[in-house]
Amino acid sequence: MFVELEPSLIEKLEESTQKYAALTEQLSDPGILSNAKEQIRIAKERAEYDEIITLYEQYKSLLKEITEADEVRQDEQADPEFKELAELEWEALTEKAAGLTETIKSLLRPKNPYENRNLFLEIRAGTGGDEAALFVGDLMRMYTKYAERQGWKVEIINTSETGIGGYKEVILSVIGKGAYRHLQYESGVHRVQRVPKTEASGRVHTSTVTVAVIVEAEEVDIEINPSDLRVDTYCASGPGGQGVNTTYSAVRITHIPTGEVVTCQDERSQIKNKARAMRVLRSRLLEVEMERQEAEIAEDRRSKVGTGGRSEKIRTYNFKENRVTDHRINLSLYQLDKILEGEIDPIIEGVVSEGEKV
């Protein structure tokens, strides 16, 4: 059944319309046009209003059509055929308007300002030696497959391989609309239980991998003073210390005020490695700022799906039982084989839904 939007929501929509008009006007300001960084910031802020403004215009147009159809269908003097047509039109329009109002309401709900940003996935071996390193590779494949199913692009930013086909660390860039919204709760400890190939007695071995999800910062988010950076270059190396190339293409950037260190060596170009390392560094600094702001806003509030901390156990992957359990939402699925192929939608949807209730 169609119910018109509440006055409070109409007020929000009118405020959005005014804000959109103000931003549009700013984009034609000569002072803004001469400042590329500010122009980009305003254009992106304006783009966030595009969908809601379009839907609000459609809503107002529908209301007008509904009123006109309603007048005809209730007009005692009108031709019966006209009244019948007006009745059908009114029903179709009110049904369309009902769907439109629900969409508008969902868009007006408070949301994470970073939810449509790209992100970095940092996957690191924890306890468990070689088994942990191998499971880093499994999770890298799982997230890559999931991202591909969503139509997102995945770039390998940096890897640190072991000699057995595993990884000490992998940093992935995930690029696509909604990437952060869907993957933001993947941070934490992922525990794997399986029998290693080298285990003759068939005992189940438990190891852990940590995942950190970091929203990708933009230049307008974080200003970094070049004098605060120490940049070291060296020859990239492979597993076991094997030389990858003989040029100083690998880059290590240290942010002196915070002690944050980012290493990148997967590209053969020093310039490309430095650019990638700066993307990761800027995003890590933004994460620190986001955590500080969150602590100030809600010091005593814990999310229902956890803090997102890297030390918090969030999920267990049991190979013997073909089971994956997400401990935060008490969900167990006996389809580990499919999940490792990227079919993790039920888990992702579950934790996101729980997180959005907070």
Examine the pLDDT at 246 and tell me if it is beyond 80.
Answer: no
Q: Which of 218, 239, 292, 290 is nearest to 41 (CA)?
A: 218
Parallel, antiparallel, or unpaired for β 313-318 and 188-194? parallel
Residue appearing with tokens 């215009």: 57
3-state secondary structure of 252: strand
Q: Which residues contact 24 (CB under 8 A, 6 or more apart)?
A: 46
Gap between the Cα atoms of 93 and 95, Å rounded: 5
Show Cβ contacts of residue 239 under 8 Å, excluding neighbours closer than 6 positions. Answer: 161, 162, 163
186: confidence class by pLDDT, cuts 50, 70, 90: very high
Burial group, residue 314, by CB count within 10 angstroms (0-12, 13-18, 19+)? buried
Q: What is the rounded average pLDDT of the residues 238-252?
A: 64
Q: Give the mean pLDDT of 157-177.
A: 90
pLDDT of residue 211 exceeding 60, the answer is yes
Q: Are 69 and 93 in contact (CB under 8 A)?
A: yes
**What is the pLDDT of the chain when averaged over all its residues?**
86
| Region 292-317 average pLDDT | 60
- How many C-beta atoms surround the C-beta of residue 211 within 10 A? 21
3-state secondary structure of 84: helix
Residue 62 pLDDT > 70: yes
Q: Which CATH architecture has domain 226-296?
A: 2-Layer Sandwich (3.30)
Confidence of residue 37 (pLDDT cuts 50, 70, 90): confident
Alpha-carbon distance of 142 to 172, in angstroms, equals 12
DSSP structure class, residue 220? T
Please enumerate in sequence order all residues whose Cβ is within 8 A of that of 357, keeping only pairs 6 or more positions apart, or say none: 304
> Was domain 119-217+300-356 assigned CATH 3.30.110.30?
no
Measured between alpha carbons, how far is 197 from 103 in angstroms, rounded to an integer?
A: 51
pLDDT class for 165, splitting at 50, 70, 90? confident
Range in 56-60, 72-76, 129-133, 321-325 the model is least confident about: 72-76
Average pLDDT over residues 155-182: 90
Tokens representing 254? 């240290």
What integer pLDDT is reported at residue 66 of this predicted model?
93
Q: What is the pLDDT of residue 121?
A: 94
Q: Which among 134, 123, 100, 230 is positioned nearest to 174, based on CA atoms? A: 123
DSSP secondary structure, 178-194, as one string: THHHHHGGG-EEEEEEE
Judged by DSSP in three states, 49 sits in coil
Does residue 73 surpass a pLDDT of 80? yes
* Per-residue tokens: 266: 């997967």
Taking 50 as the threshold, does the pLDDT of residue 303 lie above it?
no
Strand 153-161 to 323-326 pairing = unpaired
Provide the greatest CA pair distance for the chain: 91
Among 111-115, 142-146, 197-201, 345-349, the range scoring the smallest mean pLDDT is 197-201
Torsion region of 323: left, alpha or beta (phi above 0 gives left; psi -120 to 50 gives alpha): beta
Listed ranges 1-5, 117-121, 238-242, 298-302; the one with the highest mean pLDDT: 117-121
Residues 204-222: what's their mean pLDDT? 87
Tracing tokens 């006209």 back to the chain, one arrives at: 82
Q: How far apart are CA 124 and CA 187, in angstroms?
A: 11
Confirm if 319 and 336 have CB atoms less than 8 A apart. Answer: yes
pLDDT at 342 over 90: yes
SS3 for 213?
strand
The percent of residues above 70 in pLDDT, for the chain, comes to 88
Best-predicted range by mean pLDDT (20-29, 78-87, 239-248):
20-29
- What are the residue ranges spanned by the domains of the chain? 7-108, 119-217+300-356, 226-296
Adjacency order of strands within the sheet including 119-125: 153-161, 167-175, 119-125, 205-215, 188-194, 313-318, 323-326, 331-333
